[in-house]
Amino acid sequence: MRELASALRKRTDSDYWQRRAPSCGIMTLPDYPVGAPPSCDGVLAALQSILKAGDIVMFDTFTLTFGALPMRLPAGVTYHSQSLWGSIGSALPMSGGAASAVAHDPARRVIVLIGDGCLHMTATHLGTMLAERKANCSGGIICIVINNKGYQIEKLILKRVDAAYNEIPNWRYTELPHAFGASPDDFISVAVDDGRQLVAAMHAAVEGQAQGKLALVEVRTPPMDVPAAARYIGHGLPGF
């Protein structure tokens, strides 16, 4: 290991990006036809359009984790994902902890992306986040929920698209903060059914977060839509 370490050439940011095209890692929003549903690639492009230095981004263990790998993040953005153990649902409580840790610094935002299946594991932590906000020990959080009506990553890995055990109840996700005791002054929630609404929804979330609120954006994608960088997982399935 010592010999390997001595042989490795230290990579600097400038050296790394000089060997790549200027557009490398920059995701662009798809040209959605009128009324077309949002896609996972569109979610990533819309997210990239609002990121700024100092942001803390949490990706839960699902297809967008793979899709985010090619993204170019602004300098100073911290990225977290619990993929080592496949701990689905962990990003939500992790984001709550991160928000408490940087509550003294309003310039730092916490953004979490989580699938509906992952959210079913730890949804009650939304109540914890709201309680901590009222106690003034946590700032606002942007929570982006991908509603694809099931455990999509499991459907792709197991090649069992129609398996009943990979389906989940379709909650009213935008109403969850209210169900956990939040008042209208504590949160904002937006549902996105049209791909052309993605950027506007992200900016609404940014505005709500700046006011110290929990901003929840539910993006309703087609059940088997996956980011371009994650399509290899579904190799062998029809359409992949």
Q: What is the domain-level CATH number for residue 65?
A: 3.40.50.970
Structural domain for 129, as ranges: 38-227
Measured CA to CA in angstroms, residue 167 lies from 12, 116, 124, 157, 170 at distances of 44, 10, 20, 15, 9
DSSP for 49-73 reads HH--TT-EEEE-SSHHHHHTTTPPP
Report if residue 167 sits inside a domain.
yes
- Which mean pLDDT values do the consecutive 10-residue runs of the chain (240 residues) have? 83 64 79 94 94 94 85 89 84 92 88 95 92 73 94 86 90 95 92 96 94 94 88 76
Bridge partners of 220, per DSSP, are 147
Domain assignment present for 15: no
What's the pLDDT tens digit per position in 24-60?
Answer: 778 889 999 999 999 999 999 999 999 999 999 999 9
Q: Domains in the chain: how many in total?
A: 1
d(CA 224, CA 156): 9
Instruction: Give every CB contact of residue 40 below 8 A, 6+ residues apart in sequence.
Output: 63, 64, 67, 146, 221, 225, 226, 227, 230
- Looking at residue 57, its pLDDT comes to 96
Predicted local distance difference test score (pLDDT) of residue 159: 83
In-domain check, residue 198? yes
The reported pLDDT for the residue numbered 133 is: 75
In a domain, 17, yes or no: no
- The verdict on residue 11 lying in a domain is no
Q: Would you state the pLDDT for residue 106? A: 81
Q: Is residue 9 part of a domain?
A: no
What pLDDT does residue 157 have? 84
The answer to whether residue 33 sits within a structural domain is no
Q: Is 146 a domain residue?
A: yes
